[in-house]
Amino acid sequence: MHILTREDAQYIDHIVPTAFDIPLELLMENAGRGLVDALWGNYNLLQLDENNMQGRFVLFLCGCGNNGADGLVAARHLMEQGVPVRVVLCGNPDKGSTLFQSQLKRCKVMGCSVEVYDDFNDWSQAVVVVEGLVGTGLEGVLRSSTIEILHDIDIMRTQYGFDVWAIDVPAGLDATTGQISEGTLACDYTVTFGAMKQGLLLYPGKNVGGVCIVAPLGVPWQQMIEDRYKTFTIDNELAELLIEYRSDTAHKGVNGNLLIIGGSQDMVGAPILAGEAAVHSGAGKTTLAVPEKIQKIVQDRIIPEVMVTSITDDMSDLCHQRNVVAIGPGLGRTDEVKTLVQSVLTTCDNPLVFDADALYAMGHIGIVNTDALMSGDFNELYSVSKSIPLCVMTPHLGEFSRLIDMPVKWIEHNYVIVARAFAMAHNVVLVLKGIPSLVALPDGTVYINTIGNSGMGTGGMGDVLTGIISAFISQGYSLQDSAVLGVYVHSRSADLLSDNKPWGYTPSDVSLHIGQVIGELLGERK
Ligand SMILES: NC(=O)C1=CN([C@@H]2O[C@H](COP(=O)(O)OP(=O)(O)OC[C@H]3O[C@@H](n4cnc5c(N)ncnc54)[C@H](OP(=O)(O)O)[C@@H]3O)[C@@H](O)[C@H]2O)[C@@H](O)CC1
Ligand SMILES: [K+]
C-alpha cells in the first residue's frame, strides 16, 4: 500500500488541478464524503433524526484552512442526510483559505449551525467530535490557543464519553516524520485522504492516530507522484505478491548454499539462531563458520541440518563456494573481527548480508549534513566516507547510529529520510531495525513495516531475521525482495505467537513458525 508524506499530499494538491483538470474543490468534496461514510460505518447516526435527536449532534471543530474546510463539507453532507450537526469555528474565518471561505458560505446558506469557539460550551450532547483544526498544513509546533482547544476536548471526552475523530491527521502530528507537537490529542479514529500518511505509521504519531481509515480522493494521484520518492507499507498484500511458488522439482542444489559467519566465545547462540532460521526459511544448504574454539559447542547445540566449520585467516574459498554470505551475528568487537570483515568486504563477490558486529567493525561510513536537512536539500543530506559493495545491511538503531555517527534520537526524528539517503548514497539495501522496521532501497524507495509486536524486543530476534533474509537470497530472491519478505515473515511469525503469548516467546519459536507464514502467503498456490 502506498504511503504519502505531507509534501506528497501538498504536491497532489498542487498538481491535480492542472494535470487532470480537476479542481481541488472536487478532491475536497470526495474527502468530506469519505469522512461521512466512515462516520456512518461506526455510528447509527439515524438515531439522531428529528424525532429522536434529543438535542444530540455531531460536532465539527474547524480551523480555517482546508482541513477545516473538509469538516464543513462533511457537515453539509450529514445535514442532507438528516443528521444534526454543529460547526464550531476555531480561528479567524476572515483569514481562512479560499476554499474554507466558500465551504463556509455554503454551510451558512444551507442553514447549518455555525458558532465560534469562544461562545461554545455545549459538549454534553455531542455524539462524536470531529477535529479539523489543522492537518498537513501544520507550521512548526501547535500554537497555545490550539493546544487549549485540544485540552478542552480531552477533558470533555473524559466527562461525556464521546469519540474524537481527526480529519486527515490529528492536529499537531507531522504527517511526514510522525513527530508530535505538545498538546497533540490521541484520537480514536483518523480519516486520512488518498493514502495512509507516513506520520501515522511512525512513532510517536502511531500512538495518536487511533484507528486509521483511508478515504479515496477520486483521482489516480499515483500517476502524479511517479517521479517522487516512493514509500510503501510492508504488509500481507505485498508479501503475497513477492513470494514465489517453489517448483515441484526443486532440490537442495537449487535452493541455495548459504554461509553464515558469526559467533564468539561469549556469543555462541547468535550464529545458531541465524543458521536455524535459515534452514526453517528454506535454504538448500546452510553452513556456519564460527571461531575454532567454539566449533564443538556449536556443533553439539545446533540442529543437525546445519553444517559447522571454523573461521580461518583466508575465508575466500569458503565464501566463493556459496551463493550468499551473511556475516556478523555474535562475532564480537575485537580487532580480529575488523580484519575478518575487511577481508570479506574486499574478497567476497557473492551477495552479502552484514549484521550486528560486522556493522560495528565498519565504524563510521558516512557523514550527515544536518544543515542540508534544515534547508530541505535532500541530495546534500548524506555523503559516503567509506564505500560498501552492494549488499543488505541490517543495523538496529544503535548500530546505525555508529555507522552514520549521529545520535539515536536524531535518527528517530529523521527516520525515513536518513534511511533513504543512506541506501541511495551507499547503493545498498538497508534494513533498519527500529520500531517500526523499514527497508530502504538504492533507488530511494522505502518500505515501512506495519506488523510485528513488542514481544519481539528480545535478544536473538535480529539473528533470526538475518537468517531469514539470507535464506531468501540463497533461494534466488533479489536482495530487496529478500529484505522486504524477510521483515514480513519475521514479524508475522512473531504475531502468530503473540496471539497466545504477548511476550516471552523466543527467537527460536519465531523460527519454528516461519513455515506456517510461508504457507499462509502461498495459500492456494501450495
Ligand atoms: N491532497 C490532499 O491530500 C488533500 C487535502 N485536503 C485537506 O487539506 C488539508 C491541508 O490543508 P491546508 O494546506 O490548507 O492546511 P491545514 O492543514 O488546514 O492547516 C492550515 C490551518 O492550520 C493553521 N495552523 C497552521 N500551523 C498551525 C500551528 N502551528 N498551530 C495552530 N494552527 C496552525 C492555520 O492557521 P493560520 O496560520 O492560517 O492562522 C490554518 O488555519 C489536509 O490536511 C486535508 O485535510 C483535502 O481537502 C483534499 C485533498
Ligand atoms: K486534523
Ligand 1 close to Cβ of residue 139 (< 6 A) = yes
The answer to whether 12 touches 224, Cβ cutoff 8 Å, is yes
CA 146, 151, 154: angle at the middle one, nearest 5? Answer: 130
404 in Cβ contact with 368 (< 8 Å) = yes
pLDDT at 526: 62
Q: Which ligand is nearest to the CA of 153?
A: 2
Residue identifier of the C-alpha nearest atom 22 of ligand 1: 134
Q: Is the N-terminal amide bond of 507 cis, ω within 30° of 0?
A: no
Measured distance CA(474)–CA(281) in Å, rounded: 10
CA angle 373, 378, 382 (to 5 degrees): 80
**Is 462 annotated as ligand-binding?**
yes
What is the C-alpha to C-alpha distance for residues 290 and 268, in angstroms, rounded to an integer?
Answer: 9
Rounded to a whole number of angstroms, the distance between the first and last alpha carbons of the chain is 25
Which atom of ligand 1 is closest in space to residue 135's alpha carbon?
17
Query: What are residue 377's DSSP bridge partners?
Result: none
Cell of 483: 529484505
DSSP sequence for 258-318: EEEE--BTTBSHHHHHHHHHHHHTT-SEEEEEE-HHHHHHHHHHS-TTEEEEE--S--HHH
CA-to-CA separations, 126 to 44, 51, 84, 152, 509, in angstroms, rounded: 14, 17, 10, 13, 48
Annotated binding residue 363: no
Phi, psi of 143 (to 5 degrees): -75, 155
Q: Which atom, in ligand 1's list, is nearest to the CA of 194?
A: 3
DSSP-assigned states of every residue in 31-60: HHHHHHHHHHHHS-GGGGSTTT-TT-EEEE
135 is annotated as contributing to ligand binding? yes
Ligand 1 pocket test, candidate residues 102, 117, 192, 193, most atoms within 8 A of CB: 193
Ligand number with the minimum distance to the CA of 175: 1
SS3 per-residue string spanning 331-354: CCCCHHHHHHHHHHHHHCCCCEEE
Provide Rg for the chain, Cα atoms: 27
Residue 116 identity (one-letter amino acid)? V
Q: Closest Cα to atom 11, ligand 1: which residue?
A: 66
Q: How far is the CA of 428 from the centre of ligand 1 (A)?
A: 37
**Tell me, what DSSP letter sits at residue 311?**
-
Q: Ligand 1: which residue has its CA nearest to atom 46?
A: 28
Residue 224 has a pLDDT of: 85
Residue 21 backbone zone (phi > 0: left; psi -120 to 50: alpha; other: beta): left
- Does an H or E element contain 71, and which? helix 66-80
Quote the pLDDT of residue 248. 81
Report yes or no for ipTM above 0.90.
yes
**Which cell goes with 122?**
455545549
**Predicted local confidence at residue 524, as pLDDT:** 74
Looking at residue 51, its pLDDT comes to 57
CA 132–ligand 2 middle distance (angstroms)? 4
Is residue 100 lining ligand 1, measured as CB closer than 6 Å? no
Distance 97 CA to ligand 1 centre (A): 9
pLDDT tens digits for the chain (526 residues)?
999 999 999 999 999 888 888 999 999 999 999 999 999 998 888 776 655 557 889 999 999 999 999 999 999 999 999 899 999 999 999 999 999 999 999 999 999 989 999 999 999 999 999 999 999 999 999 999 999 999 999 999 999 999 999 999 999 999 999 999 999 999 999 999 999 999 999 999 999 999 999 999 999 888 888 889 999 999 999 999 999 988 888 777 778 899 999 999 999 999 999 999 999 999 999 999 999 999 999 999 999 999 999 999 999 999 988 999 999 999 999 999 999 999 999 989 899 999 999 999 999 999 999 999 888 899 999 999 999 999 999 999 999 999 999 999 999 999 999 999 999 999 999 999 999 999 999 999 999 999 999 999 999 999 999 999 999 999 999 999 999 999 999 999 999 999 999 999 999 999 999 999 999 999 977 6
Q: How far is the CA of 170 from the centre of ligand 2 (A)?
A: 4
Q: Is 262 in the pocket of ligand 1 (CB under 6 A)?
A: no
193 lines ligand 1 (CB under 6 A): yes
Does 15 carry a binding-site annotation?
no
pLDDT value of position 165: 98
**512 CB burial (10 A radius; 0-12, 13-18, 19+):** middle
CA of 95 to the centre of ligand 2 (A): 18
The pLDDT of residue 53 is: 59
> Would you say the CB of residue 29 lies under 6 angstroms from ligand 1?
no
Q: Is 72 helix (H, G, I), strand (E, B) or coil?
A: helix
Question: What pLDDT score does 49 carry?
Answer: 60
- Binding site membership of 499 for ligand 1 (Cβ less than 6 Å): no
CB contact at 8 A, 138 and 174: yes
pLDDT reported for residue 48: 67
Give me the pLDDT at residue 374, please: 86
The annotation status of 370 as a binding-site residue, yes or no, is: no
Nearest to 76 by CA among 44, 39, 32: 32
Between CA 35 and CA 29 the distance in angstroms is 10
Identity of residue 104: L
Ligand 1 centre to CA of 447 (Å) is: 27
Alpha-carbon distances of 77 from 40, 50, 80, 311, rounded to whole Å: 11, 16, 5, 70
**Phi (first) and psi of residue 151, to 5 degrees:** -65, -45
Q: How far apart are CA 492 and CA 487, in angstroms?
A: 8
- Single pTM value for the model: 0.95
Looking at the CA of 69, which ligand is closest?
Answer: 1
Q: What is the 96 CA–ligand 1 centroid distance (Å)?
A: 10
Q: Output the CA torsion sign for 435, 436, 441, 443.
A: negative
Q: Closest-lying ligand to the alpha carbon of 98?
A: 1
**From atom 21 of ligand 1, which residue's Cα is the shortest distance away?**
65
221 Cβ closer than 6 Å to some ligand 1 atom = no
Domains of the chain: 3-228 (3.40.50.10260), 240-521 (3.40.1190.20)
Q: What are phi and psi of 13, to 5 degrees?
A: -50, -40
What is the Å distance from ligand 2's center to 63 Cα?
9
CB-CB neighbours of 247 under 10 Å: 8
Which stretch of DSSP H or E encloses residue 269? helix 269-280
In terms of Cβ atoms closer than 10 Å to its own Cβ (0-12, 13-18, 19+), residue 392 is buried
At residue 50, the pLDDT reads 57
| CA–CA distance, 113 with 105 (Å, rounded to integer) | 12
